[in-house]
């Protein structure tokens, strides 16, 4: 793909991973004439077909648009501005587009964004190698399984949470702050139109259920389930029955059902590297920190970090000034931690205890107190909206 791969060439930047972080970074580097190569473990079809995120924050849309990467989302993305909470005490809707800073989400499936980013990267003359697994990352050099080493002035680790770049930083003593939310979701993608015009969060004694639009014919649902559950234990009938109970369809009306396209189990865990790089190795996206999906922040942090890292690398390679790389860490980390704080708060709001003892009754009462505050306090609603859409 792109120019012929020559093992002797030193690139400006070797990018590991073709997810949102790696592809945004690659496009921004090419825009400024910085040569780079992306090494991706999976084949192109798998990269372009991986359904995950869908909610893009206003900041992400701005970055993508400013750098000529927003045509697809402008044409096919849908503005989303409301979310709905359901519980044993009824339901209420927040029009967050009218609250806080008045910002909204754009719903655009991650796999479509990845397809757009890849097409534009290739159009800009970028080089990418699919089916290329990086085994080890050292300063300015990566070792590829079954192939020659690839070298660059810098290596950008955008290879996700379990990638080689993070392992390399950890081996050099970079510490990680980590939290297990103790919650697991069955994440389901169904061939059916959205059932609600809003994002739906349902609080229930049997566990949380969530509804998120993706396209006009595909919807994502979440069901809190016990840790260690096998997706195979969840038949279509069981999924729809459990969604109906938790989303209280007897009270609020039926869901639009369809066949299940995909079901996976996600343990809600979060972590942040205390420093996203050093010397000639810098990380962005899930490689630099994993955030639980409870507030839909992961892909948005990936775009933020890729943009900041691109700026710093362009400066380092163009002006021989690596001060921007040092600032990359101090610039991103406070924003990353705000996103984590909000995500953590959302997780506490959505997941109450499911047992029935005195502690569980206390925990559930706190959950309802949080929800009630959000329902009745304009100040709380503004705070929610600012953090829900912001990055």
| Residues known to be catalytic | 80, 201, 293, 297, 388
Residue 159 in the binding site for ligand FAD (CB under 6 A): yes
Q: In this structure, how many other beta carbons lie within 10 angstroms of the beta carbon of residue 357?
A: 9
Please list, in sequence order, all residues whose beta carbon lies within 8 angstroms of the beta carbon of residue 4, skipping any fewer than 6 positions away. none
Interface with ligand FAD includes 298 (CB under 6 A)?
Answer: yes
> Quick check: 19 binds ligand FAD (CB under 6 A)?
yes
Tell whether residue 158 is a contact of ligand FAD (CB under 6 A).
Answer: yes
Asked if residue 257 lies in contact with residue 241, where contact means CB atoms within 8 angstroms, the answer is no
Report the alpha-carbon distance of residue 212 to residue 114 in Å, rounded.
Answer: 19
Say whether 355 sits in a helix, a strand or coil.
coil
CA angle 315/391/247 to nearest 5° reads: 150
Site string for ligand FAD, 324-353 (x = CB under 6 A): ------------------------------
- How many residues touch ligand FAD (CB under 6 A)? 36
Select from 81, 297, 340, 364 the one that contacts ligand FAD (CB under 6 A): 297
Given 13, 15, 64, 164, the residue binding ligand FAD (CB under 6 A): 164
> Which x/- pattern, by CB under 6 A, does the window 106-145 give for ligand FAD?
----x----------------------xx-----------
**Buried residues in 105-140 as b, exposed as e (16+ CB within 10 A):** bbbbbbbbbbbbbbebbeeeebbbbbebbbeebeeb
Nearer to ligand FAD, 21 or 260 (CB): 21
Secondary structure of residue 338 in the 3-state scheme: helix
Place of tokens 């942090």: 301
With CB under 6 A as the contact rule, the residue among 13, 30, 37, 39 that binds ligand FAD is: 39
For 42, other C-beta atoms within 10 Å of its C-beta total 17
Task: Out of 28, 36, 53, 346, point to the residue binding ligand FAD (CB under 6 A).
Answer: 53
Contacting residues toward ligand FAD, per CB under 6 A? 16-22, 39-42, 47, 52-55, 110, 133-134, 158-160, 163-164, 187, 266, 285-287, 293, 296-300, 302
């Amino acid at each position: 793909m792109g120019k012929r791969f020559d093992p002797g060439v030193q690139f400006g930047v070797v990018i590991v991973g073709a997810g949102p972080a790696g592809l945004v970074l690659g496009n921004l580097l090419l825009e400024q004439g910085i040569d780079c190569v992306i090494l991706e473990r999976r084949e192109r079809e798998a990269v372009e077909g991986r359904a995950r995120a869908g909610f893009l924050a206003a900041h992400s849309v701005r970055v993508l648009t400013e750098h000529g990467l927003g045509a697809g989302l402008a044409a096919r993305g849908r503005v989303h501005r409301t979310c709905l909470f359901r519980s044993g005490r009824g339901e209420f809707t927040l029009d967050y587009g009218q609250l806080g800073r008045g910002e909204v989400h754009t719903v655009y499936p991650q796999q479509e964004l990845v397809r757009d980013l890849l097409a534009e990267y290739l159009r800009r003359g970028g080089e990418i190698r699919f089916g290329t697994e990086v085994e080890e990352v050292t300063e300015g050099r990566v070792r590829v399984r079954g192939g020659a080493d690839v070298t660059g002035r810098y290596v950008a680790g955008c290879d996700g949470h379990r990638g080689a770049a993070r392992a390399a930083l950890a081996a050099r003593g970079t510490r990680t702050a980590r939290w297990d939310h103790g919650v697991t979701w069955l994440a389901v993608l169904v061939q059916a139109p959205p059932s609600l015009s809003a994002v739906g969060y349902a609080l229930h004694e049997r566990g949380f259920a969530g509804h998120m639009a993706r396209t006009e014919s595909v919807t994502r649902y979440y069901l809190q389930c016990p840790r260690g559950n096998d997706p195979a234990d969840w038949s279509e009938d069981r999924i729809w029955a459990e969604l109906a109970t938790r989303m209280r369809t007897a009270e609020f009306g039926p869901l639009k059902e369809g066949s299940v396209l995909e079901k996976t189990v996600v343990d809600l865990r979060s972590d942040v590297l205390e420093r996203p790089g050093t010397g000639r190795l810098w990380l962005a996206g899930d490689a630099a920190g994993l955030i639980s999906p409870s507030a839909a922040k992961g892909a948005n942090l990936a775009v933020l970090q890729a943009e900041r890292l691109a700026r710093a690398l362009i400066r380092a390679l163009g002006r021989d000034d690596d001060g921007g790389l040092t600032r990359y860490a101090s610039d991103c980390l406070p924003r990353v931690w705000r996103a984590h704080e909000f995500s953590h708060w959302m997780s506490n709001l959505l997941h109450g205890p499911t047992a029935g003892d005195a502690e569980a009754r206390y925990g559930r009462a706190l959950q309802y107190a949080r929800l009630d505050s959000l329902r009745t306090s304009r100040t709380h609603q503004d705070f929610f909206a600012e953090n829900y859409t912001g990055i």
